[in-house]
Chains A and B, each alone.
Chain A
Amino acid sequence: MKILIAEDDPVSCRVLTANLKGWGHEIVVTNNGIDALEALQQDDAPLLAILDWMMPDLTGVEICRQLRAENDKAPIYIILLTALNSKESLLEGLEAGADDYITKPFDRHELRMRVQAGARIVSLQNNLRQRVLELEEAIVERQMAEETLRSMSLTDHMTGLHNHRGFYNLAEHHAKMTRRSRTKSLLIYADMDGLKQINDTMGHQAGSQAITAVGEVLRNTFRECDIVARLGGDEFAVLAPNVATPESRKLIERLRNNLKAYNDAGYLPFELSLSIGAVEIDHTYEFGIEDQMAKADAEMYRDKRHRKAQLTQRT
């Protein structure tokens, strides 16, 4: 790791440099506060700095204050080097924004541990910043993908949900963006029960009403960030990102409850019913959306058979 040492005492400076180099760090040395501040304000500035408290022109504490006032830069982990060992002095340093301190004369092993702790924090901060950047990029890409979808009219005109192509487009994009992340997603495949019967006995207009109503229930059940689609005919699919296992069950339960509430309200002269298959997608492993859809489809058929069997038992 690149580390800046600002120390005006040549002996202490040499001792620090030799130790840190021996531990494999790249060292930038300055012997006054002004040069140190300038070096830390560069674009490729070291992300860990060991600053002597008492230096000509600008003290380590003053450098801390100035750096902390600049919010737009990557945070630099600052270790103050001090021969002052009063509690008040240390508090003043920490209040000014120092992350840690080492008192002189320093113990080699303590120095090593404190630098290691600093390097670990810098590395965590870097990872976090990198992740935020990736997420920001993903959001922009998602927005662009949605925009493209809109422009290509990949919406199902009857329900206003995504259509087959729209769903696969967004789902593939989601799969790409979340690859190897630790989140899970829930994929639902839903098939309307008895649509053919509604069409046959009450006409196609009633069938269209049923499809629109299912679309409405799905939209009201899931979040705005979920990808809800009518794949065609009486088939629907939902991809709900970032859903932990307990939430999956709750989501399906909510869908069933909402469907029941819709039926209980008596909006339509027939009942809506869905066979539902759901799979949880673990993004730790690479996956193809087609394979997952096939699994969800199989689950849906299992549910349909189960429901039919229950119905037969009752009658």
Chain B
Amino acid sequence: MSPTNTTVDQNELMLSHVPVDLAILNSYDEAQEEGEPDFVVELIDLYLDEVPRIFNAIHEGITSDDWLSARRAAHSLRGSSNNLGILQMGVIADVLEHLTANHQIAGAELLLCLKNEFARVEEILLAERQRRMS
């Protein structure tokens, strides 16, 4: 299937104005084991470490016509974002997953959108990390 081009209305994607739902993120305190390092900090680090890798995989997938890899990466991003309450990233990753599933080149546009969102998310997550570590 050859790639198709669709314009993405970025306003449609702004379903959530809260980049990170801290209530969801902090609910992982319930799984905190005694004597172990802060579990939420561990999850934040994992996420911050993982997202750039996922962005690369999506980018490479789209540019090299490897739609399946791009879709898997978007799927993975959706899962981890939603799990941590990073809802807006989850919403965009969901749309991206559908676009890549249909081989739509507009995915590249969305990747940019994701990167912008991630800048906001990163700031909030780092602040939360700082709060927990101090």
Task: Give residues in B with beta carbon < 8 Å to A.
Answer: 24, 27-28, 30-31, 33, 39, 42-43, 46-47, 49-50, 72, 75-76, 78-80, 82-84, 90
A18 at the interface (CB under 8 A from B): yes
* CB atoms of A105 and B31 under 8 A apart: no
Q: Scan A96-109; emit 1 where CB is below 8 A from any B CB, else 0.
A: 00000000111010
Contacts of B50 in A (CB 8 A): 9-11
How many Cβ-Cβ contacts under 8 Å join chain A to chain B? 56
* CB atoms of A9 and B31 under 8 A apart: no
Which residues of chain A from 59 to 106 have any CB-CB distance to chain B below 8 Å in the complex? Answer: 83, 104-106
Task: Give residues in A with beta carbon < 8 Å to B.
Answer: 8-12, 14-15, 18-19, 21-22, 54, 56, 83, 104-106, 108
Given contacts A56-B72, A105-B83, 13 further A-B contacts (CB under 8 A): A9-B76, A10-B46, A11-B46, A11-B50, A12-B79, A14-B42, A15-B28, A18-B28, A19-B31, A54-B72, A104-B79, A105-B79, A105-B82
Contacts of B76 in A (CB 8 A): 8-9, 54
* CB atoms of B79 and A18 under 8 A apart: no
* CB atoms of A15 and B83 under 8 A apart: yes
Contact of B80 (CB < 8 Å), options: A10, A18, A108? A10
Contacts of A12 in B (CB 8 A): 79-80, 83
The 7 A-B pairs with the shortest beta carbon distances in the complex, nearest first, are: A11-B80, A105-B82, A9-B76, A105-B83, A18-B31, A104-B79, A9-B80
Q: Within the assembled complex, what's the spacing in Å between the Cα atoms of A108 and B83?
A: 10
Contacts of B75 in A (CB 8 A): 54, 83
* CB atoms of B43 and A11 under 8 A apart: yes
* CB atoms of B46 and A108 under 8 A apart: no
* CB atoms of B30 and A108 under 8 A apart: yes
Also in contact, A11 and B30, with CB within 8 A (given A18-B39, A54-B75): no
* CB atoms of B31 and A15 under 8 A apart: yes
Contacts of A14 in B (CB 8 A): 42-43, 46
Question: Can you give 14 contacting A-B residue pairs, CB < 8 Å?
Answer: A9-B50, A9-B76, A10-B49, A18-B28, A18-B33, A21-B33, A22-B31, A54-B72, A56-B72, A104-B82, A105-B82, A105-B83, A105-B90, A108-B31
The minimal Cβ–Cβ distance linking B100 to chain A, given in whole angstroms, is: 12
Contacts of B28 in A (CB 8 A): 15, 18
